[in-house]
Amino acid sequence: MFLNALFSAVIVSLISLVGILFIFFGKNKIHNVIFVLVAFAAGALIGDAFFHIIPESFERLNSEIASLIIVLGFLFFFFVEKGIRWQHCHDKDCREHDKKHLSTLNLIGDGIHNFLDGVLIAVSYAVSFPIGIATTIAVIAHEIPQEIGDFGVLLYSGLSKWKALIFNLISASLAILGVVLVYAGLIKESLALYFLPAVAGGFLYIAMSDLIPELHKETKTIKTILSFLFLFFGLILMYLLRILMG
């Protein structure tokens, strides 16, 4: 079953290359697309946390423990962001670095999430081949909208299109590491479950503390409407995926 799980993790990792659809957009066009992707990413991250990760955490862990870990995850990302901002700038006014830290935060949160996806895939295949296939399909359906949003966030943080694509692929490839460590006996599902609510807290922090405030900076009516629509679309898409995946 190891090869099946490994192949599935590779497929899931390659989903991150969905950003290649935007690689050949011109500079002006990609600038307009980025704003929409940031709004979509905010909705997808919030929806992922509330419709997927938190319900799963409450189902598998004690709700009080899961809630505490969510808060700790939120606080962890707060301190990580403070550390990154402090490292980049010691001045009172550090506007030039306002967006650069987003790539680091996003890659940390998404990397942990992808790693846990790999653990989940490995554990599912260990139970049975059909369950492994079903889990892989569910993860792929869940990853497509999130990876599009992640690519947008990396672009918005200042990375070039190719760098954003490569870093997103590296982050996604941690799913392969998750599979390998499970089959090597170094990671147990019971331990990995405690990281799940922490990821939810991280996603909520990124969306609410960084992405949504960026959307508020845009005052044009049409872009304000578009930001709301795509944020709402990200939420609805994650909710529909939750229903479809049962």
Dist. CA 84–CA 72, nearest whole Å:
18
pLDDT digits (tens, 9 = 90+) for 26-37: 656 666 677 787
Domain ranges of the chain: 2-16+30-244
Contact 169, 42 (CB under 8 A): no
Q: For position 90, what pLDDT does the model report?
A: 45
Q: How far is CA 188 from the centre of its chain?
A: 22
The two structure tokens encoding residue 50: 């509330």
Dist. CA 246–CA 24, nearest whole Å:
37
Q: For position 7, what pLDDT does the model report?
A: 93
Taking Cα atoms as reference points, which of 53, 42, 36, 35 lies closest to residue 235?
Answer: 42
Give the residues of the chain that fall short of pLDDT 70.
25-32, 84-101, 127, 131, 134-135, 138, 141-142, 145, 189, 192, 245-246
The two structure tokens encoding residue 10: 């590779």
CB-hemisphere CA count at 13 Å for 241?
A: 25
Q: How far is CA 225 from the centre of its chain?
A: 24
Q: For position 87, what pLDDT does the model report?
A: 52
The whole model's pTM is what? Answer: 0.71
With 0-12 CB in 10 A as exposed, 13-18 as middle and 19+ as buried, what is 128? exposed
Q: How far is CA 117 from the centre of its chain?
A: 11
Q: For position 131, what pLDDT does the model report?
A: 66
Residue indicated by tokens 């845009």: 218
